[in-house]
Amino acid sequence: MEKEMENGTTVLEGEESIGTVKIADDVVALIAALAATEVKGVSSLAGNLTNELMSKVGAKNLTKGVKVEVQEGNVTVDLALTMEYGFHIPETCQKVQSKVKAAVENMTGLTCSDVNIRIAGVNMKKDE
């Protein structure tokens, strides 16, 4: 049903198709990034802007810290995250993995086989 085409693009083909659907790898990375930053305890992606600032400057810088590899309909996502201080890292990462996997699969129809997370830092936000 899916096949790799061109650089960084996946083509989805159904049995009864009136055309083709192409999904750029950057779109899959953006979906993964948005899903990851929605989890409580995730400050941002490493080398990235926080979720509040993203809407002001656009999504162009959002995918820094995300690497997506699509092969034969399987997606592998590598995320570098900055966590908020005080959150349980294994539990938070498990939530991120579940949310990213569900978002990628639901929105693209591709199978997300791996969501690998690297904790790149901890945000030591001070209470105001």
pLDDT of residue 60: 54
Q: How many other CB atoms sit within 10 Å of the CB of residue 8? A: 15
pLDDT of residue 10: 79
Which stretches in the chain have pLDDT values below 70? 1-7, 13-17, 47-62, 126-128
pLDDT of residue 108: 92
pLDDT of residue 90: 96
Q: What domains lie within the chain, and their CATH numbers? A: 24-123 (3.30.70.1350)
Global pTM exceeds 0.75 = yes
CA 56/CA 66 separation, integer angstroms: 20
pLDDT of residue 71: 87
CA 64/CA 46 separation, integer angstroms: 7
